[in-house]
């Protein structure tokens, strides 16, 4: 990987985390609604599609939190992420862990 690429990826990650932290109330509220739909047995694929289309960098970050934890941890170390932002990411992961498989299914269905 070229040196410039290694610098861009952590910057993009930092930007996504900063945006996530800044908009956490709104993001958590949206996913509370998605989780409620999921628990009611509703199909949440359209909810996920809507969020991804409106906030693609946030959706990618959320996917990575659930499915690429080692990479996320590596990026956190590289950028020296603030403790409160790490805690907010972990809070999201714990609070919405029931949705992890559904998010994975959504991403796979979009690829195939």
Could you tell me the pTM of the whole model?
Answer: 0.88
pLDDT of res. 111: 84
pLDDT, one tens digit per residue, over 9-18 is 788 899 999 9
Which residue stretches of the chain are H helix? 3-22, 24-39, 45-54, 56-67, 69-79, 83-95, 100-111
Question: What is the SS3 assignment for 35?
Answer: helix
pLDDT of res. 4: 47
What is the full DSSP assignment across 55-84? -HHHHHHHHHHHH-HHHHHHHHHHHT--HH
Structural domains in the chain (count): 1
In a 10 Å sphere around its CB, with 0-12 CB exposed, 13-18 middle and 19+ buried, how is residue 3 labelled? exposed
pLDDT of res. 110: 84
Domain assignment of residue 107, given as a range: 3-111
How far apart, in whole angstroms, are the C-alpha atoms of residue 85 and residue 17? 7
pLDDT of res. 11: 86
pLDDT, one tens digit per residue, over 33-91 is 999 999 999 999 999 999 999 999 999 999 999 999 999 999 999 999 999 999 999 99
Q: Is the pLDDT of residue 2 over 50?
A: no
pLDDT of res. 33: 98
Residue 8 dihedral angles phi and psi, to the nearest 5°: -70, -45
């Amino acid at each position: 990987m070229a040196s410039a690429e290694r610098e861009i990826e952590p910057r993009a990650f930092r930007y996504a985390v900063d945006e996530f932290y800044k908009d956490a109330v709104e993001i958590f509220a949206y996913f509370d609604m998605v989780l409620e739909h999921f628990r009611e047995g509703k199909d949440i694929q359209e909810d996920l599609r809507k969020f991804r289309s409106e906030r693609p960098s946030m959706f990618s970050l959320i996917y990575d939190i659930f499915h690429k934890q080692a990479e996320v941890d590596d990026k956190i170390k590289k950028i020296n992420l603030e403790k409160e932002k790490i805690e907010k990411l972990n809070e999201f992961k714990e609070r919405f862990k029931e949705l992890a498989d559904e998010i994975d299914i959504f991403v796979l269905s979009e690829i195939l």
